[in-house]
Amino acid sequence: MAGTDSDSNKLREDMVYPLPQPPAEPVRIGGEIVRDCEKKEKCGIFGVAGPADAVERCYYGLYALQHRGQESAGIATTDGQTINSHTGLGLVADVFNRNVLRDMTGGAAIGHVRYSTAGSNRKCNAQPILEEYIDGQVAVAHNGNLINAARLRAEYQKFGHIFHSTSDTEIVIHMLAKPTHQDKSDPLVHVLRHLQGAFSFLFLFKDRIEACRDPWGFRPLVIGKTRDGFYCVASETCALASIQAAFVREVEPGEIVTISLDGTSLSSRFFTDKRELPAHCAFEHVYFASPSSTIFNDTVMMVRQRLGRQLAMENPAAADIVIPIPDSGRSAALGYSRQSGIPFEEGIVPNRYVGRSFIQPSQQMRDLAVQMKLIVIPEVIRGKRVVVVEDSIVRGTTTRGKMLALRRAGAREIHMRVSCPPIRHPCFFGIDFPTPTELIAHGRSVDDIRDFIEVDSLAYLSLEGMLACLSLPTDHYCTACWSGRYPIPVDESVSKFGFERHQMKMFE
């Protein structure tokens, strides 16, 4: 066991530790091997109709959802006749400045922040996607992942359809434009019935917003109402709060909610007659959602504190302090501290001015940016037996680096506690978990992982314990990344970059 011998506080830099094996055929983008070493955010969507400052409110809504995606941002807006959009790579504040916002006018707007779960980080993949077809213009923003997009795309390409992006979202517009679909009484309903996977969509037509959620409810999508009486829709309730809107309700699984151009009325219809058993993503509570949000009937911060309490009951440790891995581990660490009686300390602080590592020009600089994001406070750690609470471990290489930093700071013992079960299976529903061979828990024991990340002890929350911390029935959650039980049959050969291998030169 790492750190139990007499030299436990010495660095073991002379040792060679095998890394988890990469895929047999590494994916290359622009000649560079893609290295997604840790969990990544998905996407966030926001829409509002009615107010004169709809674009500005959409901007603030996206700003509140920035934690869900940092690769690109975009807003599309309509004045009732024409839809215009602006998208770009980077953070919301980088993509939009005062001049851009001033030039975007309209009474309804939808926006998107993106982390790529299908298709790489390129300008062509930024959303909302805006296209024109026989029925006019449409813009679409998507949170989730379509598991049958590759098959649908191949079918449309056989008939001469030309795709402008490598995102799974674009297929939806091609389907809307298909003449036989346009002949249906409700083309959008007909199209959505053909989709499989996780999707929360916002469609902006010239005269309305359509908010749609898949029949399983994988991703959260909520409706709000502003203080001046206009309806809005968002991935999380924290975005509603950013414009002082009150929570109205969730968009139901399988539902399409229409918001009128003036923002004062809602109408609803369902695109499926069959009500599927819900498959809400439990990892939203573990990591992705803002602690201030309420999703799936639970406040995220309270769930995370319960996870920490349950973790302490299942996996106690003899220690002097409890510290979180910022930021998503903080609430769970607080729960662990309160349950165990071990004092809570902030032993690691985030450096919020480093910038996003994904925009660094070289792999070496990206690795350095990751190291600089979290800074250990030696005075808190030195000589202490430390319980470190982390929300999850995906590939393990970044976690190992954090534990090495704690050793350098003088930690006497390190006891890692993880507030969810081991992630052993890839996600196909909107979380960028890599292939099984890149998941450190796939085919490895907890002891193997403990030795790799070099801690004195390692323990995970049980699946049963995690589900007990959530308020809905246990069979209402998707637990595929932990249990391997997928709510929908999936093709495990699906790749995030599957659309790019034949189109690499086009988009470089």
Active-site residues, by number, are 43
Read out DSSP for 62-73? Answer: HHHTGGG--SEE
Cα–Cα distance between 500 and 191 in angstroms, integer? 24
Cα–Cα distance between 9 and 415 in angstroms, integer? 14
Read out DSSP for 222-282? Answer: EEEEETTS-EEEESSHHHHHHTTEEEEEEPPTTEEEEEETTSS-EEEEES-SS-PPP-EET
Read out DSSP for 16-30? Answer: --PPPPPPSS--EET
Cα–Cα distance between 301 and 219 in angstroms, integer? 18
Name residue 81's amino acid.
Q
Read out DSSP for 175-237? Answer: HHH-HHHHTSSSHHHHHHTT--EEEEEEEEETTEEEEEE-TT--S--EEEEETTS-EEEESSH
Report whether 67 contacts 17 (CB < 8 A).
Answer: no
DSSP letter for 125, please: G
Q: Structure tokens of 93?
A: 């504040």
Phi, psi (rounded to 5 degrees) for 418: -115, 130
Cα–Cα distance between 374 and 385 in angstroms, integer? 20
